[in-house]
Structure 1
Amino acid sequence: MSRAGKIARRTFLIGSAAMAGGVAFGVVMYKRPHHNPLLDTLGKDAAALTPYVLITPQGITLITPRADLGQGAYHLQAALIAEELDVSLDQVTVDPGPPSPAYYNTALSGDAVPFAATDDGWMAETARAVADVPMKLFGIQVTGGSTTVPDAWDKLRHAGAVARETLKAAAAAQTGHNADDLHTENGAVILPDGTRLPYTDLVDTVAQTDPVTDVTLRDPSEWRLVGHNMQRLDMVAKSTGTQAYGIDVELEGMLHAAVRTNPRQGGTLRGFDASEAETMRGVHKVIAIPGGVGVLADNTWRAMQAVNAVKIEWDETDLYPAAMDDHWRILADSFDAASRDSRFKDEGDVEATLAATDAVQAEYRAPYLAHAPLEPVNATVLVTDARVDVWTGTQIPRFVQDNVAQITGHDADDVHVHGQVIGGSFGHRLEDTVVRQAAHLARAVKGTPVKLTLSREEDMMHDFPRQIAMARGRGAVADGQVTAFDLGLAMPSVLASQLGRQGLPAAGPDLQIVAGAWDQPFAIPDYRVTGYRAQGLAPVSSWRSVGASTNGFFHDSFLDELIHAAGADPLEERLRLCNHAPSRKVLEAVGEMSDWGKPLAEGQGRGVAYCLSFGVPCAEVVEVTDTADGIRIDKVFVAAEVGRVIDPVNFENQVQGGVIWGLGHAIMSEITYSEGRATQDNFDSFPFLRLYQCPQISVRGLENDSAVRGVGEPPVPPAAPALANAIFAATGKRLREMPFNKHVVFV
């Protein structure tokens, strides 16, 4: 049985046992550290002080196992290790390391239990600790959910400190000094007389030294890197066009591949005629793969031309509605008891309050959205009798191991995944379809590496998009205040769809159906949020900010409508309702940044929005102008509470990128289906925000909370509602459906 199969069968059993009081064996196994994978391939002139620090006479390598999708993950992980190891970033190289349980994600459990991030009570903390048990036991190595920084914060600083103190112990053993009399600085142990022993000169001794695990982390007053502006490790390479991505992998004798698969997701192949393609220049072989065909050729262009020349007969079975109207109908029909998935927020007596007043009502819609990363999706695979090597950018390396092993017939431990820098993902690389396809092709030509590159059309038409979603709100106001808020959310389950493709079950409610809505810190007297699971829709996947990407728009837009109905100030009423101190500070900060309340010129509008997602309170104010040619976005102000800003420059870039991502998709992007096929297949039909449309974006990172959080996704959910609220302020027109350009013109 594969590792994934074992996870599927055992996760529930261990989780249930832990909830019932724990199993002694399970507790022992949980507390036991994972094997250091660096020891498996360690040369005689090398020392692996922890799974994260490798030292040879030639230099220091820091292992940064969370995938770099362009968000600076390698840089931030390296900085946390380097802070405690006492090295500068120009003294080290980084490597993602091998797939290993040692690199399991300690932060994923936070969003795996139905407790709001603002809940730090005993039951919530216990549930999170219990949820971490299967994460560690099965080594769930995943990059996602804005968890890179919270996962790394303590873990990697501790790894650096262990390495530092072990190097001091080795220097003490080598020189006869007491370790307490030594200190470290800039990649060297300093003896009492000032002599410097570079870490690289201590390799032989430190390899024989037991790790010093009882360590103390540096006081923030001593930090050289954390909290200071840094130049990202990849800055020069990306600025000069020399950064190598997965698509840049070149191996001797490599063949290039292209594929065509059934344009209906999940559809199959009836038959094909490759006679024309097989005679084309450079074509090596045409191979049937699950759901389609692949061509191997001497370059990518010829492979793509040849695969398009293959005459294919597709299975026309419809696995989901053929037309968009039916997708929306399924969502509309899902607001019933049979489809109810969760109701974690149910305070007061919503029904009684709404029955006693004229309720405010509204319906909202959000479309499917593609991931559409700039780097074409790719994977390179080499299959031999002894092993399989995979070069690709992935957020799920251990799942890749298992799935490739099943295809090639190898042991999972004999599948070696070489993680590559990724040119954009936004959740796309949580899927591994391209790797599976490349493995099928490479298996057919053992001993020859195969690089598969998807055409933009093949990728977008077969992307597992962001979930389509619909919301229905009812609410009440009295005496200038919001008194009742009832929101129903209908969408397909991202978790069930995504885990299903990995052969894993998704038991219980899907928290993503209500993420960014049920857990908002507002003290509304009668407050209810209900999630409804829609069935039979197109398969979906995680998209930057997942459920909150739609629910942030739904929840805050409806709250803004209620505030307007009450005749209250949008910011002041949010502040009055907010019952979470860090969130109040975020709202206050964005109000200060934007000079909230300052009069605007005729035709201008200002909108505020707030969303708590991935544990991060984030508030945004958008200013727009209603010009003669359409709506112009002028300025955006963003405040977010993350507990600790590691690199202010990178933080600002991440937040600005999230805002641009959120605004662009809200304005102009959607995936629609016709005859069961995605209609949009390239950037001409799936546009993004243009440079001339980009507003001035001001960012402030707050550090008032004790928990350290990631900020890759939280700026996305408030962007759409802040823009919609600003447009309402400027024009009096409410936007309840994305993309907004269906209803207003933008310049």
Structure 2
Amino acid sequence: MGRLKTIARRTFLIGSAAIAGGVAFGVYKYKTPHDNPLLNDLPEGAAALTPYVLITAQSITLITPRADKGQGATSVQAALIAEELDVELDQIRTDPGAPSPAYYNTALAGDAVPFRSTDDSLLATTTRSVMDAPIKFLGLQITGGSTTVPDGYEKLRMAGAVARETLKAAAAQIHGLDVAALITERGAVILPDGTRVPYTALASTAATLDPVQDVTLRAPDQWRLLGKPMQRVDIVAKSTGTQNYGIDQSPPGMLHGAIRLNPAQGGEMLGFDATEAEKMRGVVKIVPLPGGIGVIADNTWRAFQAALAVDVDWGPAPYPADMAGHWSALSESFTPDQQDSRFRNVGDVDAALAEDSDLRFEYRAPYLAHAPLEPVNATVVVGEGRVDVWTGTQIPRFVQKNVAHIAGVETENVHIHALMIGGSFGHRLEDDVVRHATRLAMAMPGTPIKLTYSREEDMTHDYPRQIAMARGRGRVKGGQVESFDLGIAMPSVMTSQMGRQGLPVPGPDLQIVAGAWDQPFDIPNYRVTGYRAPELAPISSWRSVGASSNGFFHDCLLDELIHAAGADPLAERLRLCNHTPSRKVLEAVGEMSNWGGTPGPRRGRGVAFCLSFGVPCAQVIEVSDTDAGIRIDRVYVAADVGRILDPVNFEGLVKGGVIFGLGHAMNCEITYSDGAAEQENFDSFPGMRLYQCPEIVVRGLENADNIRGIGEPPVPPAAPALANAIFAATGTRLREMPFNRFVDFA
């Protein structure tokens, strides 16, 4: 009995264990929850009620382990806990917590298996359950893939409910009452006589109790916070300039670091001469780094200037020196030997397209930088057997492991202080800045070193979005799309990204065909094939990953076939759609935009659809062909995430995704010359200018069975909707991004 009580106090398991995962990896081990990290160094009299709720005599702290990079992750996690805990958001503090396997992401399994998100068959659900087991055992604490809400929707509400019921049990014990006679409200247990006992007054007693895990979650019609407009917990700090980001960190005695890496990313440093740099004002030390050099100085600007003054002999790029070589590598990848997957193969495509009269098209998508406003940065101090790191990161446990390896300390002695991120779009899924900062800090033990990348270093040594090429064929018959064949070639994003973390990626890379093979359409002859191109420039996850380019490829090919058939673009998509929530999204965007009306002279309207991350999203874009160029007048967006937890943040994320997708489709690319990225700052990588931003009308639907995230799904349909609208207005088909290569924008 004592052993059971120890387990109960130290652990917390959310939801029922998936039996398939248990069978595959050991039922007992799978069902055994990770230890509660809050119990480490717990203050006297404090209660760590689950890994997500910490109550002391002074305060209530909610642990929000998914990284906030501007998308509101901290607020939504806090609201999920607070809803069941019966506290208001102005009563609590938030903390990202220390890295821990207890915070593994339960929603990652959904995109790790080759089943469409609309597939709820026994095989699909069982396979997802099996995949959850290794993710749990590895303790993958990752923020990404629009998983913050689906990961926390049940888990965090359950954490709040367990804490609430345990606090009620503590009050019942103290006052000799039946728990059933107690209620909770605004951070207090209410006794039958109306006396309010604050949670903070119950902490010491609650800490002695086993958590009450037999709890029932409240129905949505009982919600106080969720589903209603909320003020984000960071809104005051961000509105007053007091929000603390990684770049704001400044511990006493801190020095500043800068780096200069081989312009040909991944190329070697053959040698360097720092004589001139060492003479410059404020320079403390020059440090050799893998692939380059680092400078430690008394301020950031002097460190930047000294890094530029070092004379370095660089080795060549480990990939083609110019873009012709990159495109050639993709073009040569459409071969059976390089086929990576063919998850969609319906009918007999080869027989249907045996005649020479089928339609053939080629599409291209360039490399793209993440380009967040806050350049990557990290502050590190290496002490005796201990390392402290202050940074914004989406992968805290990987950071902890890598820093421990570099510094030669035990993993548990690396303390990660996760901070708010000033934009990411996937950039903070990498940790090269922390690795370099650790090496600089090791050169000056005991001194905090803040490494900040210059804007130029940040952009040219980003791990950009994958370059991709697609070739499509099709036939139409009787005014309908009859055959659809899409081949997509790109390097493996997951192999490149996970390879930097020392993790293998067995089997096909689903991202090569994500947003294409899994679309909810019934076409008699329908095939999507992924071809794995050789590794070129190093790449990483970029907002919506494979779907960011594949949504463009798939929908534009479909639109071209619909046009060839003489069908209405929206009506034919609706006819082909075999998924009810997706149909309702298409119907909604048609209603919102008054589809079918006449746009007027020199105006056009385009519709596009993409189901990504389990979210069907449709967009209609209206453009005008003006004397100054194409002007985007209005965008209508409909999306279904199953349940909208904060309508204000939902609308903001949708609008932001549309602007992100449009701006990059219009105006952005990363190109390589002599192995180096040519775009170094926002002047050559502008995104969407304020005067180009259209009115955006948003509608959120709640017809889907599963709850999903909205951070990425609005991105993939934006580019094809714009391309289709420009075709409708001008007759010009755009099959390659960025579009400003072919048309002017007003």
TM-score between the two structures when normalised by the length of structure 2: 0.97
Match of 1:664 in 2: 663
Structure 1 residue 242, shift from structure 2 partner: 1.1
The reply to whether residue 118 of structure 1 matches residue 130 of structure 2 is: no
Please report how far the alpha carbon of residue 21 of structure 1 lies from its aligned counterpart in structure 2 after TM superposition: 8.9
Deviation at 1:70, TM superposition (A): 0.3
Closer, same or farther in 2 for the Cα pair 1:268/1:357, shift >3 Å? closer
1:552 paired residue number:
551
Give the superposition deviation at 1:153: 0.3
Match of 1:38 in 2: 38
Report the equivalent of 2:514.
Answer: 515
**Cα drift, residue 739 of structure 1:** 0.1
Match of 2:705 in 1: 706
Query: Which 10-residue stretch deviates more, 357-366 or 442-451?
Result: 357-366
Equivalences for residues 159-170 of structure 1 within 5 A: 159-170=159-170
2 CA distance for matches of 1:25 and 1:607? 49
Report the alpha carbon displacement of residue 22 of structure 1 after superposing the two structures with TM.
6.0
* Corresponding residue number in structure 2 for 1:132: 132
Residue pair 1:616, 1:711 contacting (<8 A) in 2 also: yes
Give me the whole-angstrom Cα distance separating, in 2, the residues matched to 1:536 and 1:612.
Answer: 27
Partner of 1:371: 370
CA distance in structure 2 between the partners assigned to 1:312 and 1:330 by the alignment = 30
Residue identity opposite 1:543 in structure 2: W
Q: What does residue 265 of structure 1 align with? A: 265
Counterpart residue type for residue 349 of structure 1: D
Q: Separation in 1 of the partners of 2:205 and 2:494?
A: 48
Q: Equivalent residue for 1:172?
A: 172
Which residue in 2 is equivalent to 1:7?
A: none
Q: Who is 2:467 aligned against?
A: 468
- Give the deviation of 1:518 after TM superposition: 0.2
2:13 corresponds to: none
2:702, 2:325 → 1: CA distance?
A: 46
Name the counterpart of 1:4: none
In structure 1, the residue matched to 2:388 is 389
The residue correspondences of 1:212-291 to structure 2 (distance < 5 A) are 212-291=212-291
Letter in structure 2 aligned against 1:692: Y
**CA displacement, residues 551-575 of structure 1 (integer Å, 9 cap, x when unaligned):** 0000000000000000000000000
Question: Contact 2:247–2:378 (CA<8 Å) still a contact in 1?
Answer: yes
Q: Which residue of 1 aligns with 2:596?
A: 597
Q: Name the amino acid aligned to 1:641.
A: D
Q: Report deviation, 1:20.
A: 10
Within-5 A mapping of 1:173-188: 173-188=173-188
State the Cα distance separating 1:360 from its structure 2 match: 1.1
Q: Check conservation: 2:21, 2:132, Cα contact below 8 A.
A: no
* 1:307 corresponds to 2:307: yes
Mapped to 1, the partners of 2:622 and 2:236 lie a distance apart of: 34
Kindly indicate whether the alpha-carbon contact (under 8 Å) linking 1:287 and 1:293 is maintained by their aligned counterparts in 2.
yes
| Post-superposition offset of 1:26 | 2.5
C-alpha separation between the residues in 2 aligned to 1:474 and 1:274? 57
What does the per-residue CA deviation read over 1:101-157, in whole Å, with 9 as the maximum and x for residues that have no partner?
Answer: 000000000000000000001000000000000011111000000000000000000
CA change 1:664–1:21 in 2 (3 A) is closer
Give the 3-state SS of the residue equivalent to 2:717 in structure 1. helix
Provide closer, same or farther for how the CA distance between residues 19 and 231 of structure 1 changes in structure 2, counting only shifts above 3 A. closer
| Gap regions ≥5 residues in structure 1 | 1-17
Deviation at 1:295, TM superposition (A): 0.7
The residue type equivalent to 1:407 in the other structure is: I
Whether 1:352 aligns to 2:326 is: no
How far residue 27 of structure 1 moved from its aligned partner, in angstroms, is: 2.0
Report if aligned partners of 2:379, 2:451 keep a CA contact under 8 Å in 1: yes
Could you tell which deviates more after superposition, 381-390 or 66-75? 381-390
Which residue of 2 is the match for residue 200 of structure 1?
Answer: 200
Deviation, 1:356, is 4.3
Q: What is the alpha-carbon distance in structure 2 between the residues aligned to residue 246 and residue 396 of structure 1? A: 15
- Assess if the C-alpha contact under 8 Å between 2:46 and 2:56 holds in 1: yes
Instruction: Report the AA paired with residue 457 of structure 2.
Output: E
Over 3 Å counting, the alpha-carbon distance change for 1:19 and 1:537 in structure 2 is: farther
- Structure 1 residue 240 displacement after superposition: 1.3
Instruction: Out of 103-112 and 283-292, give the one that drifted further.
Output: 283-292
Aligned length: 729
Please give the per-residue CA displacement for 1:331-370, whole angstroms capped at 9, x wherever unaligned: 0110000110000000000111111472111100000000
Counterpart for residue 106 of structure 1: 106
Q: Which runs of 5+ in 2 are unaligned?
A: 1-17
Q: Deviations over 1:286-326 (max 9, x none)?
A: 1111111111111111111111111111123x310001011
Write the distance in 2 (CA, Å) between the matches of 1:137 and 1:30: 8
Partner deviation per Cα, 1:257-292 (whole Å, 9 max, x = no partner): 000011111111111111211121111111111111
| Contact 1:407/1:436 (<8 A) preserved | yes
- Per the alignment, in what secondary structure is the counterpart of residue 621 of structure 2? strand
Partner of 1:717: 716
Distance 2:132 2:346 in 1: 29
Quick one: which amino acid aligns to residue 667 of structure 1? M
Farther-moved stretch of structure 1 (19-28 vs 219-228): 19-28
> How far 1:239 sits from its partner (Å)?
1.2
Does 2:414 align with 1:421? no
User: Given the superposition, is the C-alpha separation of residues 24 and 481 from structure 1 closer, same or farther in structure 2, using an over 3 Å criterion?
Assistant: closer
1:746 equivalent in structure 2: 745
- Aligned AA (2:474): G
Q: Which residue of 2 aligns with 1:296?
A: 296
Which residue is equivalent to 1:569? 568
**2:353 counterpart SS class:** helix
- Residues of 1 paired with 2:350 and 2:568: CA distance? 26
Return the offset for 1:19. Answer: 12
Query: Please, what TM-score do these two structures have when normalized by structure 1?
Result: 0.97
Q: Deviations over 1:667-700 (max 9, x none)?
A: 0100000001101111111111011100000111
CA contact (8 A) 2:25 2:133 kept: no
Amino acid at match of 1:263: P
In the alignment, is the contact (CA less than 8 A) between 2:21 and 2:133 conserved in 1? no
- Alignment partners' CA distance in 2, 1:201 and 1:475: 69
1:543-596 alpha-carbon deviations (Å, 9 max, x no partner):
000000000000000000000000000000000000000000000011111111
The DSSP-based 3-state class of the residue aligned with 1:41 is coil
Q: Secondary structure at the match of 1:565?
A: helix
The one-letter code sitting in structure 1 at the alignment partner of 2:199 is Y
Shift of 1:24: 7.8
Task: Measure, in 1, the Cα distance between the counterparts of 2:243 and 2:66.
Answer: 18
Letter in 1 for 2:37: P
Question: 1:27, 1:267 → 2: CA distance?
Answer: 47
Q: What does 1:494-505 correspond to in 2, within 5 Å?
A: 494-505=493-504
Task: Say which SS state the counterpart of residue 716 (structure 1) adopts.
Answer: coil
Shift of 1:25: 6.6
Structure 1 residue matching 2:45: 3-state secondary structure: coil
Equivalent residue runs for 1:51-70 within 5 Å: 51-70=51-70
Please name the residue that 1:93 is paired with: 93
**Residue 489 of structure 1, CA deviation:** 0.2
Aligned amino acid, residue 80 of structure 1: L
Quote the residue 2:613 is aligned against. 614
Q: Percent of aligned positions with the same letter in both sequences?
A: 71
**Secondary structure at 1:531 match in 2:** strand
**1:684 aligned partner:** 683
Question: Offset at 1:386?
Answer: 2.3
Q: 1:683 to 1:21 in 2, by over 3 A?
A: closer
**C-alpha displacement of 1:30:** 1.1
Deviations 1:388-434 (A, max 9, x none): 11100000000001100110000111111110100000000000000
The answer on whether the counterparts of 2:255 and 2:297 sit within 8 Å (CA) in structure 1 is yes
Following TM superposition, by how much is the alpha carbon of 1:520 offset from its aligned partner in structure 2, in angstroms?
0.2
Q: Aligned partner of 2:43: which letter? A: G
Structure 2 CA distance for partners of 1:167 and 1:137, relative to 1, 3 Å: same
Match of 2:144 in 1: 144
| 3-state SS in 2 of match to 1:355 | coil
Give the aligned partner of residue 13 of structure 1: none
The answer to whether the 8 Å contact 1:357/1:476 transfers is no
Q: What corresponds to 2:8 in structure 1? A: none
3-state SS of 1:502 partner: coil
